[in-house]
Amino acid sequence: MLHAKLISSLEKCFADTPFASLPEVKSAYAYRNITVSLQLALFSDATGHRRSFVPVSCENAPEGSVTFRQVELIPSGMPVYPNNYDEGYLRVTPGLFPDLLAPMQMRGASPVYDGQTRCVWIDIDMSKFPESDKQQDYELIFKAQRGEELIELPYTVTLLPLDLPEVDFKVTQWFHCDCLATYYNVPVFSERHWEIVENFVKAAVRNGINTLLTPIFTPPLDTAVGEERKTVQLVGVRRTGNNRYIFDFSKLDRWIDMCDRCGVKFFEISHLFTQWGAAHAPKIMADTPEGYVRIFGWDTNATGPEYKRFLHRFLPAFLEHMKERGDDKRCIFHVSDEPGRDHLKQYLKSKAVVSEIIKDYMTIDALSKIDFYESGAVHNPVPSNNHIEPFLEAFEREGRHDLWTYYCCGQCIGVSNRLFAMPGARTRFIGIQFYKYHIAGFLQWGFNFYNNQGSYDPVNPYMDSTGNGFVPSGDTYSVYPAQDGTALDSMRIIQFREGLEDRRALELCETLIGREKTLAAVEEICGNVVFSKCVCDSVTMLKIRAAIDKLIAENI
């Protein structure tokens, strides 16, 4: 017998998840400019050890407003670091984890295996529903049919007559152009590479990313000392015989034009010095009288006269070009990624090389030592969410509401993250934390990192979700590369996007009833909101959002 039910987008169904344990959903509030996501869970209790295909469909929705995707299971050889996890994980042993949202096969039919739970992902694009100045209820009917077995499941969407507001909030997940060139085996910045890059940028923007890592030079990130990543340098450099430089910004212009088409708002300029210490220059290639060669890299002292001279010529030229375009204030600069306490002296020396030139622009760096902020080394620190408390206290003392945060592989205990093994609610809850603490930006290092540690070799993200045992599954990427050069979403990037939308709903609610009442409505359900503790169950997470939506509906 076939069984089906509608469940939330936050549930992660393994093949052996008990079907009866899945909490059903029947309705949701919606806004005109969002997509409502949920899942159709399918289970066959037959014992014939067979696979069948179950067509799925929807009635009563505007044409083109509902799409279906298959939730696919992806291997995880290391879902957690050994002995570095808490009780808020779904599973900690290797296995197959639900993550990839793939196009439906077999003309829209979902495979169902006897004795296994499988899911179809549902997206409801509310922008395709009729506009109205009144609240409207739509009862959609989702169908699953196998032979003569027909299951019809009603789902009510209450569409409110307004949009969720845009929020002054910057979101970046680092974009790795070289990984796309390697995976698809195309030359860097060939026409096909540009097409693929734009496809992936569109996917990033679709999921709430509005700030894009822009490789003016090959980013000095996740590169083993002494090694090189594939050159992805947007700025052409020509060095003449007397060590003078001429810069070509034509590829950069094409990049910016592409970003404008896709909806990118800010350009995160690649780091001016190497990761973990700021001691060296990034890889920079140039046309010289000797040919096209690397002129700076691991063998370059970050504060030596040659690189300093180069930066003092390049940065003013770059900023002047961006000013002429009217885009200079969209730039965000980096000195070095994740400097430690032992690197403070070197970091200050390297920063001094460029600080006067970029002083009028935002400069951020991911770090977790409050010393860097208290010493004045970094005015806009980006602490990890498990080390954020002292930064929150310092910013509160100073009346600042512009702190960023980030997470990566090391944020395993207590806090939100996007790992395969974490519940979707835990990934999504960060939006509530963003709201309470006035967080101004978020950074994650891997939108599409398909390499192993140090970028020695590429990996296949469909087979290896850990970067060859580098990090727990889910840290290195949030989209998958499709055969046609487009990006396929993961469940995790949708759940994160939903967290961003929660924050936007909270901001809207605040304009109607005030911040105190808005936050009280949240904390009445989940208790005091802190970064070190997350809601991990979908029922509570959905209850929070429903309460906020209801307050908005009652006060518009």
Q: Lay out the sheet containing 291-296: strands in order across.
A: 245-248, 236-239, 284-288, 291-296
The residue among 444, 554, 428 whose CA lies nearest residue 494 is: 428
DSSP 97-120: EEEEEEE--TTTEEEEEBT-EEEE
How much is the pLDDT for 227?
96
Asked whether residue 24 is domain-assigned, the answer is yes
Do 347 and 496 have their domain in common? yes
Last residue of some domain: 136, 163, 190? Answer: 163
Cα–Cα distance measured from residue 124 to residue 242, given in angstroms and rounded to the nearest whole number? 61
> What rounded mean pLDDT belongs to the chain?
96
Do 336 and 476 have their domain in common? yes
DSSP 21-61: GSPB--EEEE-TT-EEEEEEEEEE---S--EEEEEEEEESS
> Could you tell me the pTM of the whole model?
0.97
How much is the pLDDT for 106?
87
Q: What is the per-residue pLDDT across 406-420, written as a single tens digit (0 to 9) for each?
A: 999 999 999 999 999
Do 416 and 345 have their domain in common? yes
Question: Average pLDDT per run of 10 along the chain, which is 556 residues long?
Answer: 96 97 98 98 85 94 97 98 95 98 93 95 97 96 94 98 96 98 98 98 98 98 96 97 91 98 98 95 96 97 96 98 98 94 92 97 94 92 97 96 97 98 98 98 98 98 97 98 98 98 98 98 98 97 98 96
β-sheet bridge partners, residue 211: 266
CATH code assigned at 189: 3.20.20
Domain count within the chain: 2
CATH code assigned at 92: 2.60.40.10
Last residue of some domain: 148, 163, 178? Answer: 163
Cα–Cα distance measured from residue 119 to residue 85, given in angstroms and rounded to the nearest whole number? 27
Cα distances (Å, whole numbers) of residue 507 to 81, 168, 543: 36, 11, 17
Residues in the chain: 556
How much is the pLDDT for 46?
79
How much is the pLDDT for 242?
78
Do 192 and 228 have their domain in common? yes
Q: What is the per-residue pLDDT across 43-87, written as a single tens digit (0 to 9) for each?
A: 998 776 688 999 999 999 999 999 999 999 999 999 999 989 999
Do 210 and 140 have their domain in common? no
Do 325 and 177 have their domain in common? yes
β-sheet bridge partners, residue 111: 53
Q: Which domain holds residue 94?
A: 2-163
Asked whether residue 451 is domain-assigned, the answer is yes
Cα–Cα distance measured from residue 96 to residue 333, given in angstroms and rounded to the nearest whole number? 39
* Contact in structure between 5 and 24 (CB atoms under 8 Å): yes
* Contact in structure between 199 and 320 (CB atoms under 8 Å): no
Do 133 and 274 have their domain in common? no
